[in-house]
Amino acid sequence: MTETPNPVAFTTERLAKVKEIIARYPEGRQKSALLPVLHVAQEQWGWVSSEVMDYVADILSIKPVEVYEVASFYTMYHLDAVGKHVIEYCRTGPCCLMGGEEIYDYLKQKLGIQAGQTTPDGLFTLKEVECLAACGWGPVFQIREKFYMNLTRERVDEIIEELSK
Amino acid sequence: MAKKILTEHINVPGIETFEVYRKQGGYTAVEKAIKTMTPEEVVEEAKKSGIRGRGGAGFPMGMKWGFLAKPEGVPRYLVCNADESEPGTFKDHHLMKCIPHLLIEGMIVSSFALGANKSFIYVRGELMYVIRILEKAIEEAKANGFLGKNILGSGYDLELVVQPGGGAYICGEETALLESLEGKRGNPRNKPPFPAVKGLYQSPTVVNNVESISNMPWVINNGGDAYAAIGIGRSTGTKLISASGHIQKPGVYEIELGVSVDEFLNSDEYCGGIRKGHHLKALVAGGSSVPILPAHLITKTAAGEDRLMSYESLSDGGFATGTMLGSGGFIVFDETACIVRNTWNFSRFYHHESCGQCSPCREGTGWMEKVLHRIEHGHGSMHDIDLLVDVAKKIEGNTICPLGDAAAWPVASAIRHFREEFEWHITNPHEATQPGAVFMGAVLA
């Protein structure tokens, strides 16, 4: 599990990145930086806790509720602690046509968890997502920025083994 | 070989770099536009090209540009819609990943045409790796004088910003996208005012799809008339088609609009036919929201003519016997696919993605998902079929944005063309399908 450091603060490197992001928008439009900055926060802490959201609100000079309503609207932001690897599994039609449901069942069985759960060793969290725009290469899941495509049982075995090391 | 506009150089090794892209003739459109043309002349070429919005709506891009308000002293914005999320659609993903400079070049000439000095590319957040590819391409273009201050010594300044989304299909709707770009929930806006008058930061804004903008370098280099000479009738130019499902060769193909559906589906140049040992059952031609067609209406129209890959031919017959080109998300189903299960799956998608502003969509998508779930899992009644038709009808046209229609059409069309399959599920509840199960159980297996 990723621990939320206390006090909450971006690393020097990430703070510089956040400042660069804010500078992209016209004067007074720094709220536009909210989605990208939440991605940077999630990169650092693995998920966005309410403390992190308050911190982001402070940095962008907006109200905390403006961050909460956005973080809870978009599906990519994790509002609870997650495992080391978050598997975001596509459950939409075109992937299902390619056997996506069967592979999903296999993956759940292999990890011993259901959607929304984390393995007891804290290594994997499973999340169901909608279409990842990779339908021609389905079934598909994503871990952070990486797409794993044309999934088969054997491929799932390899990926899980590799990431368990 | 069919004409290629977007993908001609896509397989050249190193094409993602500035150097190789430039060697293949890249950025000549920027030179031509900025050094020899006025912004109005660039807009005129876009109009002449007849190119229609490639995100799904098919609205003429040049006309959309023509609507842009130009009040004195107010900044104007160009925003590229790269929030590709329509199930079955993955063409923009492919294009941006493989040949990022094409979009950058298109953004520069289009921004110049519209008088924008700051333009945005809004990419769905799941494609963070593509965002990094685009940002690298922007750096390269800047280092070579094609972006930034005083481009090619012309006095024209342009800054390009790549904005990640946060995971929400609704942000593909242009006003939801603008809300999101302002750091808010992706709730579509009431129109009017349209973005052309009040868009990003309440300033005049044009929102165009990745593929639409990526056509602009070719249009500038070769002229709008040359572009309009490709294709068929009002379906000018080429179109990227994302092909998925039960075909031999899934992938992204660039077609000249007007190629026959039969050729696209069966020739080795494209999909290569249905996977071995199986036969065609149904097709969703333009992304999950367009009406599904049964086998007998796919390669021929109801009148018995060859069906073509064009805006007009695919919609021939209206929704009774036709469909739409939409985003070009071409999903093919063979006889093993369960239409009820697929319709339930699509309904779950729209329920999940409804932003919740309009009650017909917020409630209706959930009702449709629930009813379809119970039919699919053996608990349906015959009355449920009419109930679905009724709910779909009450969502359609009654919402701020087209997500409501997009949710209603797949359900209505599946029942229109495959009613007996829904009935079969209801009369054979013990054989209700499971993942991987086939059409009507053993009947066709």
pLDDT tens, position by position, B43-79: 999 999 999 999 998 999 999 999 999 999 999 999 9
Whether residue B163 is found in the same domain as residue B299: no
Using a pLDDT cut of 90, give the percent of chain B over it.
Answer: 93
- Inter-chain CB proximity A97 and B245 less than 8 Å: yes
Whether residue B126 is found in the same domain as residue B215: yes
Q: Which of B334, B365, B382 is the last residue of a domain?
A: B334
- Inter-chain CB proximity B128 and A70 less than 8 Å: no
Residue B443 in domain:
no
For residue A135, give the nearest of B87, B165, B180 by CB distance: B87
Mean pLDDT, rounded, for B22-46 = 98
Looking at the predicted structure, is the pLDDT value of residue B363 above 80? yes
CA distances, B116 to each of A142, B68, B336 (Å): 35, 11, 51
**Nearest residue in B to A27, CA atom:** B201
Q: Which residues contact B269 (CB under 8 A, 6 or more apart)?
A: B1, B2, B253, B263
B367: number of CA atoms within 13 Å, CB side? 20
pLDDT at residue number B441: 38
DSSP β-ladder status, B238-245 and B329-334: parallel
Share the mean pLDDT of chain A: 95
Nearest CA to CA, how far is B203 from chain A (Å)? 12
**Nearest residue in A to B128, CA atom:** A145
Looking at the predicted structure, is the pLDDT value of residue A162 above 70? yes
Confidence of residue A25 (pLDDT cuts 50, 70, 90): very high
Residue B13 in domain:
no
Lowest-pLDDT range of B225-234, B324-333, B428-437: B428-437
Share the mean pLDDT of chain B: 95
Residues of A in contact with B86 (CB under 8 A): 131
- Inter-chain CB proximity B345 and A96 less than 8 Å: yes
- Inter-chain CB proximity A76 and B163 less than 8 Å: no
Which residue range(s) make up the domain with B287? 242-334
- ipTM of the complex as predicted: 0.95
**Nearest residue in A to B181, CA atom:** A32
pLDDT at residue number B440: 43
Interchain CB contact of A62 with B (< 8 Å): yes
User: Which long-range CB contacts under 8 A does B270-275 form with residues at least 24 apart?
Assistant: B270/B241, B270/B243, B271/B243, B271/B247, B271/B330, B271/B332, B272/B247, B272/B248, B273/B247, B273/B248, B274/B246, B274/B247, B274/B248, B274/B332, B274/B334, B275/B246, B275/B247, B275/B248, B275/B334
Using a pLDDT cut of 90, give the percent of chain A over it.
Answer: 95
Interchain CB contact of A39 with B (< 8 Å): yes
Q: Which of B334, B356, B381 is the last residue of a domain?
A: B334
pLDDT at residue number A139: 97
Confidence of residue A3 (pLDDT cuts 50, 70, 90): low
- Give B236's strand partners: B231
Residues B41, B62: contact at Cβ < 8 Å? no
Distance (Å, whole) CA B422 – CA B154: 63
Residue B117 corresponds to which tokens in the numbers above? 């000095």
Q: Is A4 helix (H, G, I), strand (E, B) or coil?
A: coil
Confidence of residue B433 (pLDDT cuts 50, 70, 90): low
Whether residue B56 is found in the same domain as residue B194: yes
Residues of A in contact with B185 (CB under 8 A): 69-70, 73
Residues B15, B23: contact at Cβ < 8 Å? no
Confidence of residue B445 (pLDDT cuts 50, 70, 90): very low
Question: Count of CB atoms within 10 A of residue B10's CB?
Answer: 16
Nearest CA to CA, how far is B85 from chain A (Å)? 6
pLDDT at residue number B409: 97
Interchain CB contact of B76 with A (< 8 Å): no
Nearest CA to B325 out of B249, B395, B237, B218 is that of: B237
pLDDT tens, position by position, B220-253: 999 999 999 999 999 999 999 999 999 999 999 9
Distance (Å, whole) CA B265 – CA A154: 30
Confidence of residue B439 (pLDDT cuts 50, 70, 90): very low
Q: What angle do the packed helices B359-376 and B403-427 form, to 10 degrees?
A: 20
Residue B275 in domain:
yes
Confidence of residue A2 (pLDDT cuts 50, 70, 90): low
What is the side-by-side order of every strand in the sheet holding B280-284? B251-256, B238-245, B329-334, B280-284, B293-294
pLDDT at residue number A7: 73
- Inter-chain CB proximity A133 and B90 less than 8 Å: yes
Q: What is the CATH number of the domain that holds B134?
A: 3.40.50.11540
How many structural domains are present in chain B? Answer: 3
Dihedral through CA A71, CA A72, CA A73, CA A75, nearest 10?
80
Whether residue B418 is found in the same domain as residue B316: no
Looking at the predicted structure, is the pLDDT value of residue B24 above 90? yes
Interchain CB contact of B73 with A (< 8 Å): no
CATH T-level assignment (fold) for domain A85-164: Glutaredoxin (3.40.30)
Whether residue B39 is found in the same domain as residue B134: yes
- Inter-chain CB proximity B353 and A130 less than 8 Å: yes
Q: Domain A12-73 is of which CATH architecture?
A: Orthogonal Bundle (1.10)
Whether residue B314 is found in the same domain as residue B407: no
Q: What is the CATH number of the domain that holds B366?
A: 1.20.1440.230
Whether residue B327 is found in the same domain as residue B388: no
Question: What residue segments make up the domains of chain A, in order of their start?
Answer: 12-73, 85-164
pLDDT tens, position by position, B143-180: 999 999 999 999 999 999 999 999 999 999 999 999 99
Residue B1 in domain:
no
Using a pLDDT cut of 70, give the percent of chain B over it.
Answer: 96
Residue B284 in domain:
yes
